[in-house]
Amino acid sequence: MKKYLIFIVFPLILVAQHLTWWQLYENGIMARNRREWFKAKYLFEQAIKLNPQEAGRIKIADRHILDYYPHRELGIVYYYLKRNKQSLKELKISISQNPTDKAKKYLQFLEKGGTYLPPKHYSYKTPEYQYNKPQTAKQSEATQEVGERMKIAVLPFQTKGNFQNLDIGNVILDKMITSFVNQGRFNVMERAEMKKILKEQQLEMSGVVDASTAARVGKGAGLDAILIGSVINSGGNVSVDARLIDTETANIITSKDAYTYKTDAQSVKTLAENIAKQISADIPLLKGFVVQVEDSLVYIDIGTNKGIKKGMKCDVYREGGEIKNPVTGEVLGTKIDMICTIIVKEVQPKMSICVIVKGGEKSPKSGDKVITK
């Protein structure tokens, strides 16, 4: 065991001398996700030596956002190493500095006797780009045919730094479009169609870099949202920042960022694909019901507990009579009557308050079904 630890730690010591506290921390996160507990332990310990404060969500080097909770992560690593005393100590430090539900959960497990969760249940958004698993085709088949999915377009990312003559902005564009199409979560505009629209507005594909311009272009093209971003090569580290812009308000619906130490095209493609998956996971396909209607307000039973966010749009529909096979009598489905489109204005834990943005001949009522666009 000692020889094994020396084999792991000695190379780490050499590498760690050249890393910043946040690089040590993010390498620790990646080691933890691979369940390399001793490696993660060492990296978190080194990060704490350089920056011991649980800082929460912070911006690093003007490039990407980091959720920095080193004592919490070290405590969780100790948890899986079954070192209860050290785990308790680190988790308590984390909670005293910046309390989080994750730290409280693991502390609760320990105080109840140390019943260990299998590592496969560990779920975080990390530099390894972990994300909520998208619905499978069987899970989402019935819902995806109801209403319209959010229509989006992706623009080439603004690039900074040397990428060895690679048109990296277009590399990311192509990979993200492919990833979104394969996921089936959004209705994605083809690149050629978007290029034609921009040409009509006397804009280049790479010329749309700010939210207001992106929103104006997207609204004119009939899009619900448009994805813009940047990719930067700085000192051999590639960071990617992506923002999904609402075309009605120019507000950011969601933003994701990540980085890699590799600058080759394949590494950047993988980065882009993972960010696309994170964006889809951040705007889940949700189902629910209308619970109350008051004038222009529509109350639905989908809240933050299910992942809905302010600004998301939903279709309200009503199911009618059954459609049967006239020969076998088998029920093939039901009639669908689309009622209206609503937008979420206020979110509570178990419900949301919405307003109608696109109405029809009928008005929504309690019991109607809801699905996010």
**List of residues 6+ apart from 188 with CB closer than 8 A:** 151, 152, 153, 154, 177, 180, 181
Q: Final residue of a domain: which of 121, 150, 165?
A: 121
141 lies in the same domain as 257: yes
Tokens 């405590």, residue? 75
Strand 297-300 and strand 352-358: the pairing is antiparallel
Does the pLDDT value for residue 128 go beyond 90?
no
| 76 and 142 housed in the same domain | no
When comparing pLDDT for 72 and 233, which is higher? 72
Mean pLDDT value of segment 134-151? 56
Domain of 114, CATH number, reads 1.25.40.10
**Mean of pLDDT values over 36-51:** 89
Residue 313's nearest CA partner among 360, 247, 366 is 247
In a domain, 128, yes or no: no
Tally of CA atoms within 13 A in the half-sphere of 191 that contains its CB = 15
| Same domain membership, residue 172 and residue 263 | yes
- Residue with token string 């992560």: 73
Q: Per residue in 210-224, pLDDT tens?
A: 788 888 888 888 899
Token digits for 207? 């010329």
Question: For position 199, what pLDDT does the model report?
Answer: 80
What average pLDDT does this structure show over 356-368?
89
Q: Which of helix, strand or coil describes residue 372?
A: strand
- pLDDT (0 to 100) of residue 368: 94
What is the average per-residue pLDDT within 193-207?
Answer: 74
pLDDT of residue 318: 92
CB neighbours of residue 284 within 10 Å:
17
DSSP notation for 151-185: EEEE-PPEEES--TT--HHHHHHHHHHHHHHHHTS
Same-domain status, 147 and 254: yes
pLDDT above 60: residue 87: yes
Q: What tokens does 45 get? A: 């310990």
Answer yes or no: do 103 and 143 share one domain. no
C-alpha span between 368 and 228 (Å, rounded): 35
Averaged over 116-120, what is the pLDDT?
A: 47
Helix (H, G, I), strand (E, B) or coil at 255: strand
Residue 121 pLDDT more than 60?
no
pLDDT of 134: 39
Tell me, yes or no, whether 257 and 305 share the same domain. no
Res 310: pLDDT: 87
CATH number of the domain where residue 152 is located: 3.40.50.10070
DSSP H stretches of helix in 249-321: 265-282
Pick the more confident residue, 92 or 232: 92
Q: Which two tokens stand for residue 8?
A: 């792991």
Instruction: Let me know if residue 127 belongs to a domain.
Output: no
Mark which of 62, 93, 121 sits at the end of a domain: 121
Between 144 and 364, the higher pLDDT residue: 364
Closest CA to 90 of 127, 57, 44, 25: 44
- What distance in Å separates the CA atoms of residue 246 and residue 252, rounded to the nearest whole number? 6
Output the pLDDT for position 132: 37
Examine residue 328 and state whether it is found in any structural domain, yes or no: yes
Q: What percentage of residues in the chain have a pLDDT greater than 90?
A: 22
Instruction: Report the pLDDT value the prediction gives residue 5, as an integer from 0 to 100.
Output: 43
pLDDT level of residue 10 (50, 70, 90 thresholds): very low
131 within some domain: no
Domain limit, last residue, from 251, 282, 313: 282
Mean pLDDT over all residues of the chain? 80
Residues 274 and 310 in one domain: no
Kindly state whether residue 11 falls inside one of the protein's structural domains. yes
254 within domain boundaries: yes
Dihedral of CA 119/123/126/129: which sign? positive
Are 243 and 321 in a shared domain?
no
The answer on pLDDT for 123 being more than 70 is no
**How many domains in the chain?**
3
Looking at the chain, the whole-number percentage of residues with pLDDT higher than 70 is 81
Mean pLDDT of all residues in 94-106: 87
Specify the amino acid at residue 284: P
Secondary structure (H, E, C), 62-120? CCEEEEECHHHHHHHHHHHCCCHHHHHHHHHHHHHHCCCHHHHHHHHHHHCCCCCCCHH
191 and 152 both lie in a single domain: yes
Closest CA to 153 of 113, 108, 98, 197: 197
CA 50 from chain centre, in angstroms, equals 29
Neighbours of 201 (CB within 10 A): 13
The CATH number of whichever domain residue 311 belongs to comes to: 2.40.10.410
H or E element in which residue 137 lies: helix 137-144
Instruction: Give the up-direction half-sphere exposure of residue 328: CA atoms within 13 A in the CB hemisphere.
Output: 5
Q: How confident is the model at residue 113 (pLDDT cuts 50, 70, 90)?
A: low
Residue 129 resides in a domain: no
Distance in angstroms (rounded) separating the CA atoms of residues 14 and 27: 14
pLDDT of 197:
82
pLDDT of residue 209: 63
**Higher per-residue pLDDT: 71 or 124:** 71
Does residue 180 sit within a domain?
A: yes
Residue 164 sits in the same domain as residue 274: yes
**Per-residue pLDDT reduced to its tens digit, 291-310:** 999 988 999 999 988 889 88
Q: What is the DSSP pairing of strand 352-358 with strand 252-260?
A: unpaired
Dump pLDDT digits (tens) for 259-288: 777 777 788 888 888 888 889 888 888 999
Contact status, residue 289 vs residue 301, Cβ threshold 8 Å: yes
Same structural domain, 272 and 144: yes
Nearest Cα to 268, choosing from 178, 153, 175?
175
Are 276 and 300 part of one and the same domain?
Answer: no
The answer to whether residue 101 scores a pLDDT higher than 50 is yes
Give the pLDDT confidence of 160-196 residue by residue, as tens digits: 777 666 677 778 888 889 989 888 889 999 888 888 8
Tell me what the mean pLDDT of segment 201-217 comes to: 73
**Residue 313 lies in domain:** 287-372
